[in-house]
Amino acid sequence: MRRYLKALPLLGALFAACSSPSPVDEIVSSNLAARGGKERIQALQSIRETATATASGGRIARVVREIKRPGLFRLEFSTQGTKSVFAHDGETGWQVAPLQGQFEPQAATPEIDIAAGVDQRDIEGPLVDWREKGYSVELVGRETLPGGEAFKLEVTLTDGAIRYDYVDVASRQIVRSDITRTIRGRPVQLENTFSDFRETGGLVFPHLIETHVKDRPQVLRIAVEKIELDPDLDDARFRLPQ
């Protein structure tokens, strides 16, 4: 009996270890809280962001991004008197790309479908209920970024893509995200940094996104000017026009 009594503290410690959240769960939970809370994030049904994009060469474009549950996505670039559209209806992607000589809507092949990534069409972001979505998330370490220390999370998506999200230790916001995407049939590693976080309707969003291809000096700066939560978006906007 005395041996069993001695073992009780060990059993208690074991159960406590099993029931305590993992480092990944703690980081994800704190990130969702910093963004406005899981409940408020999951209540969001649609979003429209209007922004101005400036390239290193000085070119300026008007950008409108729309996302709607479940997995509908539309991105518009207006520049030089033309409008490019990249969209996905949850099953099929399509595009209009006049700067590439494509003036009529066409279904996008997997090699050129920039909206095919499941994380791009996820209005919540991949960290919300990541297990239920079939993703895997692993803490692979900490890194020092220009703004400070950040946790580095490796996120494996259901389409096989792997992205690395950097969660700032102090603010718990995602301040950088790296992922390899296929653009015009070639794998391209993109590095995205996020800053100027502001609150809209109880949710916190970055208002400055800087994107560049790894090992290249050119940077695309996207300054978000307006965020609309739950705008009325017709599903037809996301479908390939017939």
Could you tell me if residue 5 is inside a domain?
no
Mind listing the pLDDT tens digit for each residue in 114-145?
656 788 899 999 999 999 999 999 999 999 99
Mind listing the pLDDT tens digit for each residue in 46-82?
999 999 999 877 778 999 999 999 999 999 999 989 9
Could you tell me if residue 8 is inside a domain?
no
Could you tell me if residue 13 is inside a domain?
no
* Owning domain of residue 42: 21-238
Closest C-alpha among 200, 199, 181, 182 to residue 191? 181
d(CA 80, CA 221): 18
Task: Quote the pLDDT of residue 205.
Answer: 98
Instruction: Domain count for the chain, please give it.
Output: 1
Could you tell me if residue 4 is inside a domain?
no
Mind listing the pLDDT tens digit for each residue in 172-214?
999 999 988 766 667 778 899 999 999 999 999 999 999 988 8
Could you tell me if residue 6 is inside a domain?
no
CATH number where 160 lies: 2.50.20.10
